[in-house]
Amino acid sequence: MSKLFVILGGALGLVLISIASGNGQSLVSPGDVTTPKSEPPAQPKLLVAIHYEALCPDSMYFIRRKLYDALKDYNWWPVTDLKLYPFGKAGFYNNTATGEMEVYCQHGHPECELNALHACIIETLDIQDSFNLIYCMLRSYSNQLDKCSKQLNLDVSKARECKGSRKTPDILAPYGKETLKLGISFVPTIVFENDFDPYEQSSIRYNFETHFCRQYLKKFNIKLPTCS
């Protein structure tokens, strides 16, 4: 009889172990579990919109000498939500002869075509690649897409397809919509967090770093390490 109890007791123990092991709960002591380290939270990004023109000397200077240096030297890419609008002081009109919408640009037809090419680059590449490519292209008043894309090892086939398959006014329409509603009087125009201040534009262009730091602190109550 005692042997029977031992056998039954052993069998019952095995059943209980089996149930405990198969109900989805870990049998490992909490102290033995290694918790994976969580990634540090991403820093918030300040929205910065640049309204510029492909053949505008002031646009070239600001993007190549101020904006590019700030993003690179201060490592501000991780904290910047950059938006580029290649339109400037352009406009649309209805061509009565054809009945189609046309676009005119401050520096003539070649600028409209380059603005549209920039727009296609922005649409088909990520923002950092787009910016680096446009930065390179703004060295010249002519189309430098071939040279710059090769130099940066970027595939621009989709940008070419965009430019070749669509009409320039159609490509520029969404960029014009955002720029025209501001009523800008100078190019480039820089807008932080969709809050356009026409009276501060000259100061922003020449003291971009100071204004960026000020706006970042105002928006997020965070002083960036590179802001003195």
Q: pLDDT tens digit string along 148-198?
A: 999 999 999 999 999 999 999 999 999 999 999 999 999 999 999 999 999
The stretch 70-90 carries a mean pLDDT of 98
Q: Which amino acid is at 228?
A: S
Among 113, 119, 115, 109, CA closest to 162: 119
pTM of the entire predicted model: 0.82
- Is the pLDDT assigned to residue 117 strictly greater than 90? yes
pLDDT for 130: 98
DSSP state of 184: -
Distance CA 67, CA 63 (A): 5
Task: Kindly give, in sequence order, each residue whose CB lies less than 8 Å from that of residue 205, ignoring residues fewer than 6 positions away.
Answer: 58, 62, 66, 188, 190
Q: Which amino acid is at 211?
A: H
